[in-house]
Amino acid sequence: MLGTHYLLTAMQLPGIKFDDVYNLQRNISYIPGNLNELLFEISHHHSQLTKFNKYTKTTWMQAEDATKALESQCYNCHISIITNEDNNYPTHLKHIAKPPFIIFARGNKTLLDRTAIVVTGTKKPTVYGQKCAKRIGQVICDLGLIVVGGLKCKTAKLAHEGCLKSLGNTIAISDRALPTPEKADYLAEQIIDMNGLVISENAPNTLNINSIEAMRLSVGLSRAVIVIEYNQQDLLRHLINFARYSHKAVATLGEANHFKIDNDCLPDFIKILKNRLDLENFLNDALHTHYHNSQTIKQLSLHS
């Protein structure tokens, strides 16, 4: 246990990796009151924390200064810092491979433990795909569920817009630093204004871009994944692997020839949605419940 401040500080150290931070958390039994207390505890676990003992106090102080600057920026930009030690850390993410230590969030954090459906797909959907993305976003909203998707993928953006049009809640996951009020992203601000949420693993002003990690978060937060027209084979392979590992249902539209990455992807693992009834059945099966308002889906044709 490190607390937010010293968890961030440890992650600022050069050359630190996921397993290193996990090991540090596991060996420190209480939240240090100051840097000297943390370094004292590390010295008492010398054999288990050899890597951290190699850093000088000056290096630690520099890392802590960077953390203070980051905390101040997050406060000024209304960005919440959620760590895996916090009570409001999303339960769903605890069960994915290498759950993130820290999530940066703007908006309604209560959505993180709501039942959500990922809508994703190609950055250049066809006209049909665009209509389907918006329509499915509306359906998910009307069923009282949360839409989860990226901020840069056009398919996901359309699903967000469809959900917002029905006055629903949506979670956008950024594969880069969170957009701040000074560097506004129109869709992100609209989502936040309508009681939605935008999250990222990347700290403000960092230049990291990792679509694969953002996809992992999307799948982790969801109960099911709907893919609309996908042509990025490498990213798709990661999506399939994340969904399999997390035991999440996956569906796509039409014949889904773009899913033939290997011989065992179809037909057992990925469901094909050819009409609105298929969508209704997929959601009901994925959530293991019966929606009393399932008539909503029947009234929303995917073809109109």
pLDDT in tens, 41-56: 988 887 788 888 889 9
CB-based contacts of 215-219 (< 8 A; 24+ apart in sequence): 215/120, 215/150, 215/239, 215/242, 216/96, 216/97, 216/242, 217/93, 217/100, 217/103, 217/173, 218/118, 218/120, 218/148, 218/149, 218/150, 218/173, 219/96, 219/118, 219/243, 219/246, 219/248
The backbone torsions φ and ψ at residue 142, rounded to the nearest 5 degrees and listed phi first, read -65, -25
> What does pLDDT average to over the chain?
82
CB-CB contact of 53 with 84 (8 Å): no
Per-residue pLDDT, 254: 64
State the Cα–Cα distance between residues 273 and 254, nearest whole angstrom: 6
Question: Can you spell out the DSSP letters for 13-82?
Answer: STT--HHHHHHHHHH--S--SSHHHHHHHHHHTTTT-HHHHTS-HHHHHHHHHHHHHHHHHHHHTT-EEE
Using DSSP's 3-state secondary structure scheme, residue 183 falls into helix
Confidence of residue 285 (pLDDT cuts 50, 70, 90): confident
In our burial notation (b when 16+ CB lie closer than 10 A, e otherwise), range 73-85 reads ebeebebbbbbbe
- pLDDT of 302 > 50? The answer is no
The better pLDDT of the pair 212, 67 is held by: 67
| Highest mean predicted confidence (pLDDT) among 61-75, 207-221, 279-293 | 61-75
User: What's at 232, amino acid-wise?
Assistant: Q
- pLDDT of 297 > 60? The answer is no
Looking at residues 242-264, what average pLDDT do you find? Answer: 65
The better pLDDT of the pair 10, 301 is held by: 10
- pLDDT of 14 > 80? The answer is yes
State the Cα–Cα distance between residues 87 and 82, nearest whole angstrom: 9
Find all residues with CB under 8 Å of 143, minimum gap 6, and list them.
283, 291, 293, 294, 296, 297
Per-residue pLDDT, 290: 35
Q: Which residues pair with 102 in a beta bridge?
A: 83
Q: How much is the pTM?
A: 0.83
DSSP-derived secondary structure letter, 112: G
Per-residue pLDDT, 71: 93
